[in-house]
A and B are shown apart, each in its own frame.
Chain A
């Protein structure tokens, strides 16, 4: 195969349809960027699950007028319960400190919250997280100094279903965008083939192999896909540097949200690149088979 010939055909093709090429690259980039975002969110969700589910499964918030005696009884029952794997006690002060840390990016909120507004609590890890109702029964709300027993798992489930929703929405938009990108690639290839119909007609008549005739078009699409993928990765890097690392710095430091690691971006970049190149090349090949006589 004459590499020079094929490459110069690719370059000519991309230049000749510059506006279509740009549109094709941008659509591909947006689609792949959203896909990457979806993957990052998915990674984040699993990181968060580790952070949260491991720590706390049930919280017992104590009433404001809880007596020392009541508190000791609760602690003894927890220590004796076979359901409880471990527990920690969090005083009003500690709760307030944690609150300050979590919302360090929102000073107004911290200022407007009096230090004693947050209840003291026992934070419990269960042997089996599903056994929450047993604890709830053992410590009925509003009795013996207990204000409320809360299944953090339930709360986390809702949080994660929200995040899963965000991930699914992102991926859904990415899929729609990918469809647009595929149609655009198909159109661009048809246009490119039309522009070069004299060359391809002659190639067909003198007996150039199908690969020889098709390869420039497929490479053209694949190259556009690759450029789109590079732009998408660049977009993810910018999102990390400018948005995640800056705006979300507080919650990340407080351990509420896991950070987006460089390693995560590095590990999804090849996936994005492969998806970009692969989809574009396949779209081009199918287009040539279906619509273009070569």
Chain B
């Protein structure tokens, strides 16, 4: 599903690599926590999987495709197989929950018929039935993140990338979001979640990949956040 081989990423502005010779593999259907302090390379890791950036050295493979050699016009096709969720939700403020989800389908040219059918389905799945017509400003943080997850999942991606999805939420709300991500994982979608939240990591006991200053320092199945936290 995901394969990184000796991946190093240097940003021009910084002398220290954001990722330093990282190699790992993630299988289809896995749920992986990507942990590490700020600046440890988590976001860079996710950006490389989306081909938002190219690695300086090494190869990145996603869904059996080598991203290094992928041409620009193939990138949209790759991204249609990947859902993204962020700490700041990234919803369009002037569109309702349903319209936000529909937007993701409209811009990839899904027929209106399909959109009408799948948007209510996915909103129900994330627990927002009856709130389809609300604007993001009329929803709580947890509900906004559910809209974002609905948008990321509506296209049934093979891979869901979540960059600190609970970073702006209180623990109880976070728990709800994690249950939702687990549920999505059970449908066969691979989930890679970057997080700081050791409560969540410790309670779920999933595979943990830890980055420290761009170096992969730990890769543990059924791991915990780590000692000293």
Contact = CB atoms under 8 A, between A and B. Distances in A.
B90 A206 contact: no
Contacts of A202: 90, 92, 103-104, 107, 151
Interface in B65-99: 72-73, 75-82, 84, 90, 92-93
Interface residues of A, number: 17
B210 to A, nearest CB: 26
A206 B103 CA distance: 9
B109 interface: yes
Contacts of B108: 206-209, 212
B92 A199 contact: yes
B72 A208 contact: no
Contact of A204 (B77, B79, B103): B79
A34 B83 CA distance: 52
A205 B106 contact: no
Given A2-B106, A5-B107, A212-B109, A207 B79 contact: yes
B109 A206 contact: no
Contacts of B174: none
B138 to A, nearest CB: 18
A210 interface: yes
B92 A205 contact: no
B50 interface: yes
A208 B79 CA distance: 8
Interface string A1-44: 11001000000000000000000000000000000000000000
A161 interface: no
B72 A203 contact: no
B90 A201 contact: yes
A207 B63 CA distance: 15
Nearest to B110: A2
Nearest to B100: A202
B105 to A, nearest CB: 8
Contacts of B190: none
B40 interface: no
B145 interface: no
A20 B151 CA distance: 34
Interface string A185-208: 000000000000011011111111
Contacts of A199: 92, 103
A285 to B, nearest CB: 14
B108 to A, nearest CB: 6
Interface residues of B, number: 23
Nearest to B148: A202
B162 to A, nearest CB: 13
Interface string B109-141: 100000000000000000000000000000000
A215 to B, nearest CB: 11
Contact of B109 (A1, A201, A213): A1
A212 B103 CA distance: 12
Contacts of B81: 207
B107 A203 contact: yes
* Residue of B93, B107, B109, B151 with most chain A CB atoms under a 10 A cut-off: B107
Contacts of B155: 206
Contacts of A204: 79
A204 B53 CA distance: 13
A213 B73 CA distance: 12
A213 B72 CA distance: 14
Interface string A106-138: 000000000000000000000000000000000
A206 B151 CA distance: 9
Contacts of A203: 107
Contacts of A201: 90
A207 B83 CA distance: 10
B73 A5 contact: no
Contacts of B92: 198-199, 202
Nearest to B103: A202
Contacts of A208: 76, 107-108
Nearest to A205: B84
A207 B109 CA distance: 10
B80 A210 contact: no
Contacts of B82: 207
Contacts of A207: 75-82, 108
A1 B76 CA distance: 15
* Residue of B72, B78, B104 with most chain A CB atoms under a 10 A cut-off: B104
Given A2-B106, A206-B155, 5 more contacts: A202-B90, A202-B107, A207-B82, A210-B73, A210-B76
Nearest 6 A/B pairs, CB to CB: A207-B80, A207-B79, A208-B107, A206-B104, A207-B76, A203-B107
